[in-house]
Amino acid sequence: MPDKQQRIPVTSSFFLTRFSNLIRVNNDPVAFFNHCIQKNGDFFKVKFPGFEFNYLLAPDGIQNVLEKNHMNYKKSMVYDPLKLALGNGLLTSDGAFWKSQRKIIQPLFNKSFIEAMCYDISVATDSFLQSIDDDPVDLTKELANLTIEIACRAFFATSEVQFSSFISAKTNEINEFMNQRILMPFIPMGMPLPSHIKFNRSIRQINEKLKALIVMAANNDSRPSLLSMLANSKSISDDMIRDEVLTFLIAGHETTTNALSFLLYLLSKYPDVQQAVKEEIENNSMDDHPSYESLQRLTYTKAVINEALRLFPPAWIISRESIEDDVILGHVVPKKSIINIPTFLVQRHDAFWESPNEFKPERFVGDQNRHKFSFLPFGGGPRFCIGMQFAYTEMLIFLVKLFRYSDFKVLNQQVDLDFLITLRPKNELQFQFVKK
């Protein structure tokens, strides 16, 4: 360790200020954190009533936590509400158990699996586009229906409307509860509150459904799915399968829905970019159902997706807890310290990005001279999101099908943000097809 070690800078720790911090961070987290950054730099501590968090924005420090010294950091209490629903899946587990699960599951998300899913994603997108009439619709709500259908096809090998509707309803109920829970994590789950009763009922119903599906999947080799591949694995229990499938279902569907919502909002707001994407798609010959290989030619379109993910990362914060003492950027980090990495702010930091609040997809075209931990929409280090390529493929196919189908616009002039478990639009985004 260095000879000179500093304490992490702290915002005012007066008793009343702790309450003020909690109110301000809930009312306008971006303004609150920007104030802290201006005052204390890119690594600082904020004290709240009964707890304190450290916030880290410097890429070198982030790399230390997520990659170079990642064995010293586990998932923090911020993820506890997720564990209530998702159990001990890849998103919430730690240590040797996480490592063994990752070793089993990562090979399943290989190129062959994603290639096989392209047809299902394309068919589901066609059906979705044809279901929308000419009147304005709630974009995020409609996209949620699409992403849940794609998830059901990929994870369960089913396209039954009734099953998709059931999963959609239950995941919405679970997401709603988890978003409430993260704001009030200290209320005992044993209290018979209406929200607790509804949540427990939803979990029980979805567990019963998944148990039956696991049995069916183990005896069904006719069509590949994540569930069937896990069910036929000899090294994973039914409870572990349940946790992993539910993790991909809820976390994956939620983040992709929000990413697509922000992406279409930006494309509507920047018609020149929208036209460039349209031309690239038109200039690249593809089948009715695009293949994985053909999608790789859409380099500018992928740059647009990355720029949307930079400005509006659905996974807007990453949180870890130190297992033993550490030193980050010359600052002492005692064991059991919570380190929060607000990717939303890292990816809009003027020290790491030129014109950080402007929508400039060309920054992701060609060679990119930037720190790899300044762009973290899928996390970083050994725990990067295992579904990253699946998500990119889903979004690319959606754009190909959308631009072939019709012109469009999002009627909102601006979007308000909800910083919950994921970053999502707070206001309803009104989407409408534009007749050619």
pLDDT in tens, 62-85: 999 999 999 999 999 888 888 888
d(CA 383, CA 167): 27
- Band of residue 161 on the pLDDT scale cut at 50, 70, 90: low
- Band of residue 189 on the pLDDT scale cut at 50, 70, 90: confident
The overall average pLDDT reported for the chain is 89
**Identity of residue 299:** T
The pLDDT tens digits for 365-417 are 987 889 999 999 999 999 999 999 999 999 999 999 999 999 999 999 999 99
Reported pTM = 0.92
Q: What is the mean pLDDT of residues 316-331?
A: 96
Q: Is the pLDDT of residue 1 over 60?
A: no
Domains (ranges, CATH) in the chain?
82-314+381-434 (1.10.630.10)
> What confidence score (pLDDT) does residue 356 get?
97
Give the length of the chain.
436
* Rounded percentage of the chain residues whose pLDDT exceeds 90: 58
The pLDDT tens digits for 21-31 are 988 988 899 99
List the single range of 125-134, 235-244, 344-353 with lowest mean pLDDT: 235-244
> What confidence score (pLDDT) does residue 435 get?
63
Q: Is the pLDDT of residue 35 over 60?
A: yes
Q: Is the pLDDT of residue 6 over 70?
A: yes
Closest by alpha carbon to 125, among 147, 108, 109, 110?
147
Q: Is the pLDDT of residue 49 over 90?
A: no
Strand order from edge to edge, sheet including 43-48: 43-48, 51-56, 338-341, 318-322, 73-75
The pLDDT tens digits for 274-315 are 999 999 999 997 889 999 999 999 999 999 999 999 999 999
d(CA 87, CA 244): 8
Q: Is the pLDDT of residue 262 over 70?
A: yes
- Sequence-distant (6+) residues with CB within 8 A of 74 are 94, 95, 320, 321, 323
CA distances 96 to 90, 144, 259, 322, 434, Å, are: 12, 34, 31, 16, 52
- Band of residue 160 on the pLDDT scale cut at 50, 70, 90: low
* Rounded percentage of the chain residues whose pLDDT exceeds 70: 95
> What confidence score (pLDDT) does residue 154 get?
83
Q: What is the mean pLDDT of residues 48-59?
A: 93
> What confidence score (pLDDT) does residue 241 get?
86
